[in-house]
Structure 1
Amino acid sequence: MADEEVATKAPESDAVEDSAIPNDSKAQEGPSMGEHCVTDRPTPAGEVPTGEMTKIAEVDVYVTKPADYPHAPSKLLLFLTGGTGVKSTNNQLQADKYAAAGFLVVMPDMFGGDPAPNTTTEASAEEQPSFLESVKLRVGETAKSFMIDMWLARQTPEKVLPLVQKVLDGAKEEFADAVANGGGVYGVGYCFGAKYILILAGEGPDTGAQGQPTTDEEQGMVKTGPQLKTGVIAHGTMITKEDIAAVKVPVCMVCVENDQLFPDETREEGKKLLEKTGIDHEVKVYPGVPHGFAVLGDYDDEKIKASQKDAFEQMLGWLQAH
């Protein structure tokens, strides 16, 4: 199925009329975050992050650079994470992989010091719990699910977007050489962060510093254009058809077959909208892998390991080609 789901790449053309964007109320039904969004797989043995935690615009960020920067030119890559956040070792190692390929990576704390509750490293598959432990785990999972829902209610675009915008503006100023070398800012997003990469890749209302839409007496609601040169996402969550329809720059999407967190219907409708607007795009669906598979982490299943490697090569290849 993966081969059938690779979308054709279309040249850019004029955008679709707003009236052509379908209502996406169904996208909000069902689960919005899963275990893989808030749980890290075991970190591959012997791997240690090479970047550093610092601050940009008073926001905590993880910055990782190519070994030869600034002596050799680089390109600025904004990296938006899943619920495990900026301090996740696996997220930091994933960012390092892009840095090793020549990108200067800035990964902000999108959640303002409030990562998903009970963010943990997943236990080894060989550790089988007893019956009593299994019962306790099920009770704990119900409580955790409730806590995640409460956490999600706090992570609104009104909160997240201004924070990301502050870091993006600060990074563009601090690393102006990388922005100029790349001809703009590149973006990559996993799980929760994928939605915000699509938002930054699209045209929408200017939310201003307070996260509220700004208006002009003559123009009405002020719109802001795409802030990325191109974007790549993997197994996004809470993505709507409207998010995809608003995209105005080349975009690549790594998806999971039968993913409840990014329903096939939403993906297919979004792909049709990209084809209609003529935006250069690539959509590939990976069968037989869990949501979250593309984030660095150790798996026992060789098929998942191979798909993880393929997904990174796909995403990196897209960034390098644009």
Structure 2
Amino acid sequence: MSCSQCFEKPPTLSPTYGAGTVQELGGLQTYATGSPHSMLAILLISDIYGCEAPNLRKIANKIAAVGFLVVVPDFFYDDPVIDLNDPNFDVNSWIKVHNTDKGYEAAKAMIAALKSKGVSAIGAGGFCWGGTVAVKLASSTDLQAVVLLHPSSITEYHIDNVKVPIAILGVENDNLSPLEKLKQFGEKLSAKSEVSLKQISS
């Protein structure tokens, strides 16, 4: 939720979109796509528009097509943002209910559920709101790699605690995570011997 462009054309959410199935996993309703028998999984953490956004499901399906089990949980319990420009919508109240600390705890339960199914390696990708959740997950070695896509509200504290390989994909116009800030994060990460870094800006 960091740049005005994110608000201009909200997606039309569709619970039936995509080739995958919706199932309960780790206590959350989850869009799952790819082989349920894969030992390799990717956890995708949405932006504020949630797991029913068609483009997010398209990304999940593309990743699944190369052999991964991909899961996209509903971290908002069927309460995604529909339209930030709606005068009746109070974004601050929504954020209090759906904060990234709660998302982090729910994501840890999702990782545990995947491991209980026999998954041996898990990566995570977080978009905007989900980027903050994903960078928190990167502070442990439960994941093999993390990708942050136009992440919002990440701090030096988060970066200092990264313990796994990480990629940061920024955007040109982002008030909360401008490119200069992401470059500084890149410099901090490049000094960490235990972390490999890939930084891409668009």
Pick the TM interval, shorter chain: 0.7 to 0.9
Letter in 1 for 2:106: L
**Matched residues in 1 for 2:152 and 2:196: separation?**
22
Residue of structure 1 equivalent to 2:127: 190
Letter in 1 for 2:6: H
1:164 and 2:81 are equivalent in the alignment: no
Identity across matched positions, percent: 25
Residue of structure 1 equivalent to 2:116: 173
Q: 2:6 aligns with which of 23, 28, 36?
A: 36
1:107 and 2:72 are equivalent in the alignment: yes
Give runs of ≥4 in structure 1 deviating > 3 Å. 31-35
**Matched residues in 2 for 1:32 and 1:153: separation?**
16
**Matched residues in 2 for 1:249 and 1:63: separation?**
24
Letter in 2 for 1:36: C
Q: Give the TM-score normalised by structure 2.
A: 0.86
Answer whether contact 2:166 2:196 (CA < 8 A) is retained. Answer: yes
Answer whether contact 2:22 2:31 (CA < 8 A) is retained. Answer: yes
**Matched residues in 2 for 1:166 and 1:33: separation?**
30
1:143 and 2:113 are equivalent in the alignment: no
- Report which of the two structures shows the higher radius of gyration computed on alpha carbons: 1
3-state SS, counterpart of residue 76 of structure 2: coil
Deviation readout 1:7-57 (Å, 9 max, x if unpaired): xxxxxxxxxxxxxxxxxxxxxxxx7464526822899xxxx5100101013
Deviation readout 1:51-84 (Å, 9 max, x if unpaired): 0101013311111014xx64xx551111111111
Q: Sort the Cα spacing of 1:115 and 1:100 in 2 relative to 1 into closer, same or farther, 3 A.
A: same
* Equivalences for residues 51-66 of structure 1 within 5 A: 51-66=20-35
Q: Give the TM-score normalised by structure 1.
A: 0.56
Residue of structure 2 equivalent to 1:17: none
Post-superposition offset of 1:142: 7.1
**Matched residues in 1 for 2:168 and 2:158: separation?**
13
Paired residues, what number?
A: 198
* Equivalences for residues 219-238 of structure 1 within 5 A: 225-238=140-153
1:95 and 2:60 are equivalent in the alignment: yes
Deviation readout 1:164-204 (Å, 9 max, x if unpaired): 22222112212x1xx23xxx2111111111111111111xx
Structure 1 segments unaligned to the other structure (5+ residues):
1-30, 120-140, 203-224, 287-322
3-state SS, counterpart of residue 191 of structure 2: helix
**Matched residues in 2 for 1:111 and 1:42: separation?**
13
Structure richer in helix, relative to its length:
1
**Matched residues in 1 for 2:33 and 2:185: separation?**
32
**Matched residues in 2 for 1:256 and 1:115: separation?**
23
Residue of structure 2 equivalent to 1:5: none
- The structure, 1 or 2, with the larger RCO (C-alpha pairs under 8 Å, 6+ apart) is 1
Residue of structure 1 equivalent to 2:199: 283
Q: Sort the Cα spacing of 1:199 and 1:238 in 2 relative to 1 into closer, same or farther, 3 A.
A: same
Deviation readout 1:216-263 (Å, 9 max, x if unpaired): xxxxxxxxx332101112111111122122111111111112421312
